[in-house]
Amino acid sequence: MLSRRITAALLALPLAAGLSFVIPSGSGVFSGRAAGPLFGGVKIARADVSCGFTTADLETITAARAQGLDADLAARKALLMRTIACAKGDAAALQSGLAAITVPGADASIRSQLSGKIDDAMTYYDLELAKVQTAGLSGTQQVAQEVLSWRQSNYDILAAQVANFELYESNQPLFATANDRVTQMQNLVGAIQQAGQNNDLQAAFSNAETLVQTANNENASARQSLSRLLPPDQSLGLIKESLSSLSDAYGKFFDVSTIVQGLLATKEK
């Protein structure tokens, strides 16, 4: 891939100052990754072509290096500033995506927390851009390392938290439907049992009801994890567990329906 060829070229250059940005277009994901010694190692991937690191950029830096220290520094600062600006644009896109999520009033506080942290991220990028403008070679390298470290320990986690929040909210209609289904089946099973006890039907419905309650509990734990901004792996694990329990519950719904259909067919004979 082109990004790998660029990385190899960057690795071949002598160590100077700053941060190496390998930016393949077409992804939309910004992830910290060491990419080589030229600038130090943040990898940004975005669909916006203005964020792409091209062979022309590499040629510009190489030519500037041959022209002397001032030209070399100017070229590196321009690339670093462009990439940090791109990172800020990525945060702005994350903010827009968060705002577009349909959220009930009870969950508005979670979105507010996440939105505030994204605002903080964009402010951070503005501060780092200001540093680059007055930095020398060593200062540029320091800013680059700060951005890399901050992204790995802050922004990547924040982006994952936003993604988990979006996933959680998109799943809530499934839980509402399952709970409605339990209520409907409870009435149906109750009516059938009045006409004659059926242990298989009662067992199938009890299993379904228990699984839905388990899914509800896991879903509530996932919400609590999101509201406390706990590690994204923890929130995602709880979301997956709740969906697994919900899937099992729907399997039991099918069993209940099958038994009911069999009982109705028997009465019609």
Q: What is the mean pLDDT of the chain?
A: 79
* Residue 268 predicted with pLDDT over 60: no
DSSP 8-state class, residue 46? B
Name which of 214, 195, 201 is nearest 267 in CA terms: 195
Q: What is the largest CA-CA distance in the chain?
A: 96
- Residue 225 confidence (pLDDT): 97
Q: Which amino acid is at 91?
A: A
Q: Are 237 and 199 in contact (CB under 8 A)?
A: no
More confident residue, 53 or 194: 194
pLDDT class for 52, splitting at 50, 70, 90? low
Tokens (6 digits) for 267: 């009465």
Q: Are 252 and 208 in contact (CB under 8 A)?
A: yes
pLDDT class for 62, splitting at 50, 70, 90? confident
Tokens (6 digits) for 239: 């979301």
Name which of 135, 14, 127 is nearest 74 in CA terms: 135
Give the residue ranges of DSSP H helices in 151-198: 156-195
Beta bridge partners of 46: 25
pTM of the model: 0.77
Q: Mean pLDDT throughout 29-48?
A: 33
Which run of H or E residues covers position 235?
A: helix 232-268
- Residue 182 confidence (pLDDT): 94
* Residue 119 predicted with pLDDT over 60: yes
pLDDT class for 26, splitting at 50, 70, 90? very low
